[in-house]
Amino acid sequence: MKIKDIAENIRNIKLEDLRENIKNFDTEQLNAENLDQFKNAVVRVVNPVLKTPILIGSKLFEMSRPALEEICLFFVTCFGPWYFLLLCYLSTALITFSKYLSERLNKPEALAISRAVAIIANTWSALTSLYHNQTFEGLEHIPKDSAALLVWYHGPVPVDYFGLVAKIYKRD
């Protein structure tokens, strides 16, 4: 149903018919048949009025959906690089803070740093999976105990590589 049709239906509603039905309705002769007739008359007149805002709203949403999707996509991609830059700074700050805490609490530094790196790996892995829908196949071919040469090409910010390193760290 188009918005023109909805507007035409609104114009065709006759409130006088509803008023006439209410005036003619005799409460003393109330029975199931009269009540059903009255309900039907009210529903016929009131139902289009109640459905009209919903229909107009859904039609406007359908018409503006492509523009809304583009606006949302712009904001997600516009701020995306800043999320990764912020995550780089937070990763560095977490490792520095872990070193500080291990020194302050007289705990082994290696344990604190390994916990910080595990948190960072989980965060990077989750973010790259969520943001880029990143998945890896063949991780079992990368050796756990020896060296490997990974040839990688990507643009100026190798976010995919960060996700790969995080997955390998989590795997091992």
Residue 32 has pLDDT above 70, yes or no: no
Q: Tokens 């289009």 — which residue?
A: 48
User: d(Cα 132, Cα 166) in Å, to the nearest integer?
Assistant: 14
When pLDDT is averaged across residues 24-43 and rounded to a whole number, the result is 63
Per-residue DSSP letter, 105: T
Residue 30 has pLDDT above 60, yes or no: no
pLDDT tens per residue across span 68-113: 888 888 887 777 778 878 888 999 999 999 999 999 999 899 999 9
142 burial via Cβ count (<10 Å: 0-12, 13-18, 19+): middle
Q: What is the pTM of this model?
A: 0.51
Three-state DSSP state, 5: helix
Q: Tokens 């991609």 — which residue?
A: 77
